[in-house]
Each structure stands twice: as C-alpha cells, then as structure tokens.
Amino acid sequence: MNNFTVAIALLMLAALAYQLGLTKGRGVVALAGHRATHSRPGYHGALAILRAAVPAFVVYALWVVFGNQVIHSLVLESIPAEFLPQDSLQQKVMLQRLSNIASGFGVLGDAQPYELAAADVMRQFQGVGETIVTALMATVAALGLFWSWRTTTAETRARNKVERAINVALIACSAVAILTTIGIVMSMLGESLRFFQMVSPTDFFFGTVWNPRFATMGAEGQSGFGMLPLMAGTLMISFIAMLVAVPVGLMTAIYMAEYASSRTRSLVKPVVEVLAGIPTIVYGFFALVTVGPILSSIGAAIGVDIRATSALTAGLVMGIMIIPFISSLSDDILTQVPKTMRDGSLALGGTKSETIIKVVLPAALPGIVGAILLALSRAIGETMIVVLAAGNSPVLTANPFEAVSTVTVSIVNQLTGDQDFASAQSLVAFALGLTLFVMTLILNVIALVIVRKYREQYE
C-alpha cells in the first residue's frame, strides 16, 4: 500500500461520492421541485465528498504519522533484552537497519538471527496494520456515503455546510504559516538554551571577541563567543545600506508618485522593481568583482586606505538592493495621501514642491517610516552580499573601510563544513539566529503597527 495507490483510491472515492451525492440531489429536486430544495445538487455532491473521502483521508494521514511509532515500539518489545541498546540514538539506528532488512533493501554486514526475527515481526505488524487501516478507511467511507445518501432531503443545507468546510480549510492553510513560525522559534530556542548551558549569556551578548575556534577544542574556559563584533558589523553595514537606499528610494518614490506621467510611471516602476528580483548572490559577486576594486582604487587616488572587501562595499551594494523595497512601498503610501490634501495646499498658493515637502510627506511619514523599518530588517538579515563582500573579519571597528563580519556570515561559517552539532561552536549559530530573529521581529512589529496606524487615518 504505497501513497500513490492510496491517492488514486481516494480520488476515485471522491468522484464516486460526488456522483452519488449529485444523483441523490437531483432526485430530491425532481421530487420536491427547485423552489422547495435548499441546495443545488452539486452541493450535495460536495457534501458527500466531505463525509466519505475526507474522513478516509484523515484515517490514512493518522496512520502515516503515528503508524510507524506504534510498530517500532512493538518491534522493540519483541527484541530480546540482551540485544536491545539502551541509548535512544542507537535504537533508532537499529530500527533503521531492521526496516531495511524487512523491506528487502539490504544492509551492511550479515544480519544476526535476532535481527532477522525482529525484521520478521516488523513485517508482520506492518501487514496487519495496513490491513486494519484499509478496512477502517473502507468502513469510514462506506458509512459516510450511506449517511449522505440517507440524510439528503430537500431541507438539507448542503450549501451552508460546504461553506463552513471551506472556512475550515482556509483557516487550516493560514495556520500552516503560523505554526511554522512557532516551530522555527521553538527549535532555535531549544538549541540556544543548550548553547547557553555551555557559554554564559553575558559572555555571548557582551563579549567583544569573536573567535569560536574548532569544535574539537571544547567550550571550556574560552571567551571567544562574544557577538558584539558581529552585531557591530551588521549594524554598520545596514546603516551604510540605509544611507544609500533611503534617499535614493524616497526620491524615486516622490518622482513616481508626484511628478511622473502615468506612462513614465508604468515604465519606471517595473524596471526599478526588477532590482528586487536579482538574486542576492549576483549582487554579492557584483560587489566582490566590480564595486570593491573600484572603491579601492578611488581610495588609493584620494589617499584613503579602502579594502576591496569592506563594510563600505557590502553596504553600498546592499543599499542598491534595498532601493526598490523603499521606493515601491513609499510610492504606494504617497499615492494613498488623498488628492484633497494636495488641493488644499495648492489652493492656498503652495507650489508643487512646497506641497510635497510640507503636506504630502508629513502626512505619509508614518507609512514611510514603516517602509524604512521593513527595509532595515531586510538589510539586517541579508547574507549573501556580506558573505562575499564584507571581508569576513570579525573585529570590533568603527572604520567602514575595514573588513568586518556580520551575524549572518558567522551563522554560515559555524554551520557549514564538518561540524559536531552538539558542540558550542555549532550551537552558537542558533543563539545568533535567535538574536537576529528577535531583532527583525521587533522591527517588523513596529513597522506594521506604524503602517496600520497610518492606514486608519485615511479610511
């Protein structure tokens, strides 16, 4: 019984249920007439699907999720105590080996007699389980069909029931995003707590040296987990990026919203938004290969020592990447400022630029601040550009011409390569990630609150 077969069977069941419901519904209409029938036949069909195919699917889904656990615990009980490993990790390895034997997939080395016996038990339980589940699915489906067939009358409010089912389905889908977020936070929280058992939070949050070395050296007695240099790098690069993106993005938005003809606007806006669609890795090597050397030679010409890979290089390119976020959002916000507001200023004898500076921008300010905060949280979380162009040098410096490192770059460094996931060197990545997540979350919440407040003002 593989998933594909089940999917086909369920689809066929759904089609059958729909036809039965449809037929019954038409019969009801023929008897009671259109006026006296609450729902059209199609709704009875849909309702039959909900009553027959959906419960059968739920039964199967439960089996997929929990069936293996049940079988595994039964199999472990059958194994003689002298062969049973105490460690849960080794038990997992053993079960994997057993299921490979059971499915005839083959294993390394010769299978022990007790293993063959256990695999046999596993195969039996799987067979029994599948039979039970198939029978259960068939029963549930048949009951559902029977229920539908028997209870369908002219008064059945199939239409309203289908409506409610759609409602439930929509809620379930939106719950996926929320549950995923919660899941991510939970997993990061767990790993971070393990990290903080090895390294004290004070050392992590306020330490000024970032030098985690290798996992083999252990975490004891070392203070190389200070995240301040990384945070400083992140903030410096984000700041440079905002210095580039905010003025340029805002001016672009003002031009598009206030000055450009609708034809120009329809041309310029998509082109600017193309910037947002360029993969960040492309920006990264653009920074590394083009912008960095240019900045470096400019620095040489004016007598300033600028590294090719520096906070400045990464910040400039990141700023260019963020321009469309600010310009596009601000443009939407500026066009939302009511025309009556502009007319009020123009009718008092204000020029266009006076009107924009003194009336339109202040009115749109909360929204624009929101847009900037959203762009900032994007800058803080940006990885690829800084990996390539910031120089990966975790030192605490205020000089933008120096190479720096950021939180995101360090996460990449700590998690790539051959790593022991139980070491402080790997776990620190989760602590860094959680810090980053909390920072951007706070920025996003502030931005959303501001934007919402602004929206209310004109609705």
Interacting residues toward other proteins by CB under 8 A: 262, 338, 340-351, 354, 358-359, 362-363, 457
CB nearer to other proteins: pick between 199 and 359: 359
Q: Helices in 33-87 by DSSP H: which ranges?
A: 41-78
34: which DSSP letter?
T
Q: How far is the CB of 356 from other proteins (least distance, A)?
A: 13
CB nearer to other proteins: pick between 92 and 358: 358
Tell me how far apart the terminal alpha carbons of the chain are, to the nearest angstrom.
56
Other CB atoms within 10 A of residue 104 CB:
8
d(C-alpha 439, C-alpha 431), whole Å: 12
Q: How far is the CB of 365 from other proteins (least distance, A)?
A: 9
CB nearer to other proteins: pick between 305 and 354: 354
Residue type, 155: E
CB nearer to other proteins: pick between 215 and 364: 364
In what helix (H) or strand (E) does residue 362 lie, and over which residues does it extend?
helix 361-381
Other CB atoms within 10 A of residue 163 CB:
11
| Closest C-alpha among 400, 379, 395, 376 to residue 236 | 400
CB nearer to other proteins: pick between 165 and 361: 361
CB nearer to other proteins: pick between 308 and 363: 363
| Closest C-alpha among 7, 1, 20 to residue 142 | 20
Q: How far is the CB of 342 from other proteins (least distance, A)?
A: 8
Per 3-state DSSP, the chain is made up of helix, strand and coil in percentages (nearest 5) of 80, 0, 20
Can you tell me whether residue 165 is helix, strand or coil? helix
Q: How far is the CB of 265 from other proteins (least distance, A)?
A: 12
Give every CB contact of residue 268 below 8 A, 6+ residues apart in sequence: 252, 255, 256, 260
Q: How far is the CB of 151 from other proteins (least distance, A)?
A: 55
- C-alpha 67, offset from chain centre: 29
CB nearer to other proteins: pick between 19 and 266: 266
Q: How far is the CB of 14 from other proteins (least distance, A)?
A: 54
Give every CB contact of residue 330 below 8 A, 6+ residues apart in sequence: 249, 250, 253, 254, 257, 364, 367, 368, 371
d(C-alpha 222, C-alpha 126), whole Å: 51
Give every CB contact of residue 323 below 8 A, 6+ residues apart in sequence: 244, 245, 248, 249, 252, 272, 275
Q: How far is the CB of 36 from other proteins (least distance, A)?
A: 46
CB nearer to other proteins: pick between 155 and 343: 343
Q: How far is the CB of 327 from other proteins (least distance, A)?
A: 22
CB nearer to other proteins: pick between 127 and 362: 362
Q: How far is the CB of 40 from other proteins (least distance, A)?
A: 42
CB nearer to other proteins: pick between 186 and 357: 357
Distances (CA, A) of 449 to 326, 366, 380, 442, 455: 17, 10, 20, 11, 10
| Closest C-alpha among 254, 248, 319, 308 to residue 283 | 319
Q: How far is the CB of 279 from other proteins (least distance, A)?
A: 38
